[in-house]
Amino acid sequence: MSSRPAGKGRAGGAPRPSSGGKARVSSGAKLRTTQSAAKSSQAKPRASQSSAKASQAKPRTGRVSGVAVGTRRPPAKPTATRHRRRPTPRRWPRRLALTLVIAFALGAATLVRADWEVHNTFLNTTSHRTDELSSELRVVQLTDFHNIPRPAQVRDIVELVRGADPDLIAITGDLINTNNRTLDPVRRLLDGLSGIDAPRYYVDGNHDHWSADHAKLHELLERFGVTILTDANTQVSGDFGRLSLIGVDDYFSGNGDIDAAVAGLPEKGFRLVLTHSPEIFGELDRTNIDYAMCGHTHGGQIRLPLIGAIYQPGGNWFPKVSKGAYVDGGATLFVDSGLGVTGPKLRLFNQSQVTLHRIGPDV
């Protein structure tokens, strides 16, 4: 047999397979394969990063191993729907009820106060300065008693007069009402006043004139020592000096005559007038009256702060002369709101009162 040269392969120069039947791989081929694998492994993370970004940008839906996978939807675009107010509870019934309760409470309190002012009398004090008297003259005025039927209140009135320590007591009309069931209240008053050491003087009011008991009233006055001055005058003296006391009948009922009342008076000296109604006001300065006191108006009975009387007898709404002192020339008229009531048995901001007039040079 012929021998072949060493190192030569089969035809075409290809290497002969090993005895194990497996092809041999050179070391150079292994190196190249390893580098390619490394490069491909470096490229895979970039692919995974790209897929993660894609998954964030476009979330997928579906189920993975039986678990629901939620997706984030983009916010819905606002639609042109009308905004609806949330229903609120109705509060006006409660507010109305509260308002009515407050109004009722205030009304009830006002009525209680108005009734209290009728049943409780206090002592009011006013002063008038004059150099025509040598010292203080104290005159307590009672007006518009209107036959007050409450004995306890009549006793209180008498004690108020006693405590004022008067030099004289002036009763300026309307002791009784036009219609009276009894004159016992006046009898109690006059009996109580008779126990006070001070002279008492009286002038008629319109209700006294209008009453069928007018003559009986005058009988009671005389029985208890009260001097009735009907368009007449008298001289009064004391520690205060000397004065002319003038009683003028009621102008409201058309019975007064001031010229007759001042007839025969001396030109000088202090002139004090007792009368019932303020209608005489314009006649006082003309007849040289220094000071006059009257009643009749009840101060309107119902008065309002900053407004004063609303109404008073004679159909006079919001009267200009109703309560307090008024001046015309050299004459001063004091209108007292009085003790009793006519019409509605109410007084408001206008309590039943007795007034002490302090007249003199140092008051």
DSSP letter string over 28-45?
HHHHHHHHHHHHHHHHHH
Q: Which distant-in-sequence residues (6+ apart) come within 8 Å of 309 by Cβ?
A: 297, 299, 300, 301, 302, 303, 318, 319, 322, 323
What does the alpha-carbon distance between residue 245 and residue 168 come to, in Å, rounded to a whole number? 11
Three-state DSSP class for residue 113: helix
Distances (CA, A) of 236 to 4, 198, 244, 270, 361: 188, 12, 6, 10, 18
Confidence of residue 9 (pLDDT cuts 50, 70, 90): very low
For 191-214, the pLDDT digits (tens) are 999 999 999 999 999 999 999 999
**The pLDDT value given to residue 46:** 47
What does the alpha-carbon distance between residue 46 and residue 43 come to, in Å, rounded to a whole number? 6
The two three-digit tokens of residue 10, written as one number: 């089969």
Q: What is the mean pLDDT of residues 305-310?
A: 91
In this structure, the number of other CB atoms found within 10 A of the CB of residue 353 comes to: 25
For 158-176, the pLDDT digits (tens) are 999 999 999 999 999 999 9
Q: Terminal CA-to-CA distance of the chain, rounded, Å?
A: 178
Find the Cα–Cα–Cα–Cα dihedral 308, 311, 314, 319, rounded to 10°. 30
Q: What is the mean pLDDT of residues 274-303?
A: 97
Choice among 10-14, 152-156, 319-323 with the minimum mean pLDDT: 10-14
Three-state DSSP class for residue 232: strand
The answer to whether residue 99 scores a pLDDT higher than 90 is no
Distances (CA, A) of 152 to 103, 120, 185: 33, 10, 11
Give one DSSP letter per residue of 275-344, joined into a string: -S-GGGHHHHGGGT--EEEE-SSGGGSBEETTTEESEETTTEES-SSSSEEEEETTEEEEE---S--SSS
Average pLDDT, the chain: 83
Contact 126, 157 (CB under 8 A): no
**The pLDDT value given to residue 1:** 42
Confidence of residue 5 (pLDDT cuts 50, 70, 90): very low
Choice among 44-53, 182-191, 276-285 with the minimum mean pLDDT: 44-53
What does the alpha-carbon distance between residue 68 and residue 189 come to, in Å, rounded to a whole number? 106
**The pLDDT value given to residue 81:** 54
Burial 201-233 (b: 16+ CB within 10 A, else e): bbbbbbbbbebebeeebbebbeebebbebbbbb
Question: Quick one: angle between helices 214-223 and 184-193, nearest 10?
Answer: 20
312 vs 242, residue with greater confidence: 242
125 vs 89, residue with greater confidence: 125
**The pLDDT value given to residue 285:** 97
Q: What is this structure's pTM? A: 0.74
For residue 40, how far is the Cα from the chain centroid? 96
**The pLDDT value given to residue 137:** 98
The rounded percent of the chain whose pLDDT value lies above 70 is: 75
Q: What is the mean pLDDT of residues 286-295?
A: 98
What does the alpha-carbon distance between residue 83 and residue 94 come to, in Å, rounded to a whole number? 28
Long-range contacts of 326-330 (CB under 8 A, 24+ apart): 326/278, 326/281, 328/281, 328/282, 328/284, 328/285, 329/285, 330/285, 330/288, 330/290
**The pLDDT value given to residue 57:** 45
